[in-house]
Structure 1
């Protein structure tokens, strides 16, 4: 069975959960003698591709140079508008964009799109699996089927948190309604798809992610994040801090606790340095010396989880929630919002709070901070819950979706 993956997420994302998912999936499927896969991509800055171990048979189709360049905030803002808008900008080629993008990220977008279209036109595949929601490929499919992975319904449920120029929602709707088969990353995501779109539930298959740290090769120790450099004790916040992630609610709720527990700190891992509004909020709450941003890689993340009193996930909505499994795998108690898919993934191994109720969050954090027996129980249950998830299981269940679709169309 010949599977073609396109460039989309590897053009848009330098590091993140969706590209991690596709890299883990491709890495395992490339070892399957029944699968021949191709990633139609010319250039990428995606860090997950660096750790992608393909077999020689898959690798011969993918000679992908990885560009080492500084992040450009302007380019990142453009990319967050979604691929259709970014493609229009790439065609226009504004001089100002070229000035702020020394490696010409938008040229990469053009060349990657051409490469994906070239492979689509060749028609040397049995099934297509796009890596994001731009419907550019539909006119090149001919009669070939495609499988779409839906990671969440955030754009649909929280549209106010996105730019009015973001066309992700429109592209996703088109692809969901015409997909031959859909993979949802959680039962909650499947439920949301059915609620929002006219889709046959039998076309939607729930396939969970695996543990992001499952097959991690140890990185050299970075002295800047040796645990002795961390201000302990601390709570850990991970990832993007915008909108539905509920970061402002989290910090304002924690302000009283940070005053009560004078030695307690908060580390914010990833998501970029604090912006001006965030720094202003921290100064106003007198928390600038207690809340810290730290740039991360996988090794740093493991250090941060392993030394934290707890990981707090206040998000209003998640399609899956990979950081939950990261925390479990590092023996870090997880304090989670009781919304969307988070209780589904955390089950009884995490403790939960209402993401709209400050007292609910404060109680849960104090419970973990003050009760070592409860904290240890959370850690033990986390390790047990983690056994339910693996990338091998993800790959095999995805292969089943591919196989069933191929048989149905024969």
Structure 2
């Protein structure tokens, strides 16, 4: 049984999100004992709700809401040295420079999720680039996991070929999404669904412009945004100017309600201009929501022929694709069936199995 430590970086940086969900699901799979990995979490205070809900065996506690997401929490965590005793390997969860000194002499595995700061210039929550030490992590790693072939290509293009071996290991989706569920309370009867953050490269504005063009023909169709926090003043102004403010709602749902939110959507739209993988896409497909995606390398890698596509940022083309789908129930049913079938290729158990294989290779090479 390999003893693998995970640091707390991402659990102090994210309250919710794809990267922290990935590590929670990975640890939960390893906790079953089926993959020859014993996960070790040398910390107990987290800000992340996925970890608090999904890892009860590790007895994690929530930091005070008055402190989170205060950057001093991460800095304080980085000052604590983690000894190497009792650990065969460490899997770092993000790229803070100080965490690289932890577990001296122990093999290191890192995961590259995307190249957003490098390609798009977007910065972190605290005004500094959270990927600032990515190059150092790449140099120190004994193995590099990438969550898509698209992310691998971007990484090599920006940083060059690394010395450590690279492994593409896709993310997964839990069986609860295939089971669907009731429509969550408060959601309308007929809606287009958007999930996650809305700012910057997520390109929520393109979806708003498309919905504005469609509004006269679909007066009963609402826009539901799950997650991402309340609408900003700028988003509120955009919705008001488009006449959609009364037909758009934002809500935060518990993880248990997400399968139902996807399953009851008329269409799921993911207009992001860049992703390393796009976890909501595979969740939507698993739950049977017809998926409409921006035509980008990672989203095409995940969606395959089980989704409809439009050129990223093209509101007119998105309007056309949505109108065609809304008018064609048979086509929506085709996408539902194809999406469910494709989602079966993305499971957290397979993610854990392939990740455990990477760990075993690294330890054997030492």
Structure-1-length-normalised TM-score: 0.82
| Post-superposition CA distance 1:210-254 (Å, at most 9, x none) | 11x4257999989xx33xx43332111111011000111221222
Aligned match for 2:46, one of 44, 47, 62: 44
Matched, 1:66 2:66: no
1:356–1:52: structure 2 CA closer, same or farther, 3 Å change rule?
closer
1:44–1:171: structure 2 CA closer, same or farther, 3 Å change rule?
same
1:407 positional shift: 0.9
Instruction: Give the aligned partner of residue 20 of structure 1.
Output: 21
1:42 positional shift: 2.2
In 1, Cα distance between equivalents of 2:360 and 2:249: 47
In 1, Cα distance between equivalents of 2:122 and 2:281: 26
Question: Which secondary structure does the structure 2 equivalent of 1:341 belong to?
Answer: helix
Instruction: Give the aligned partner of residue 176 of structure 1.
Output: 138
Q: Is the 8 A contact 2:177 2:286 kept in 1?
A: no
Instruction: Give the aligned partner of residue 284 of structure 1.
Output: 241
Instruction: Give the aligned partner of residue 257 of structure 1.
Output: 214
In 1, Cα distance between equivalents of 2:225 and 2:239: 13
1:233-252 alignment, distance < 5 Å = 233-252=190-209
In 2, Cα distance between equivalents of 1:214 and 1:51: 17
Question: Which secondary structure does the structure 2 equivalent of 1:236 belong to?
Answer: strand
1:75 positional shift: 5.0
In 2, Cα distance between equivalents of 1:151 and 1:131: 10
Question: Which secondary structure does the structure 2 equivalent of 1:121 belong to?
Answer: coil
1:49–1:393: structure 2 CA closer, same or farther, 3 Å change rule?
same
Matched, 1:345 2:302: yes
Q: Which has the higher contact order (CA 8 A, sep 6+)?
A: 2
1:243–1:48: structure 2 CA closer, same or farther, 3 Å change rule?
same
- The alignment's C-alpha RMSD in Å is 2.6
1:329 positional shift: 1.8
In 1, Cα distance between equivalents of 2:300 and 2:179: 30
Aligned match for 2:118, one of 147, 156, 172: 156
Q: Is the 8 A contact 1:43 1:66 kept in 2?
A: yes
Q: Is the 8 A contact 1:258 1:265 kept in 2?
A: no
Matched, 1:381 2:338: yes
1:24 positional shift: 1.1
1:102-251 alignment, distance < 5 Å = 106=73, 109=74, 112-113=77-78, 117=81, 120-160=82-122, 165-200=127-162, 203-211=165-173, 213-215=174-176, 225-226=184-185, 229-251=186-208
Question: Which secondary structure does the structure 2 equivalent of 1:289 belong to?
Answer: helix
1:274 positional shift: 0.5
Aligned match for 2:231, one of 263, 266, 274: 274
In 1, Cα distance between equivalents of 2:171 and 2:77: 26
Question: Comparing 40-49 with 191-200, which one deviates more in the overlay?
Answer: 40-49
In 2, Cα distance between equivalents of 1:142 and 1:10: 22
1:338 positional shift: 0.6
1:275 positional shift: 1.0
Q: Is the 8 A contact 1:218 1:299 kept in 2?
A: no
How many residues are matched?
Answer: 364
Q: Is the 8 A contact 1:244 1:317 kept in 2?
A: yes
Question: Which secondary structure does the structure 2 equivalent of 1:262 belong to?
Answer: coil
Structure-2-length-normalised TM-score: 0.91
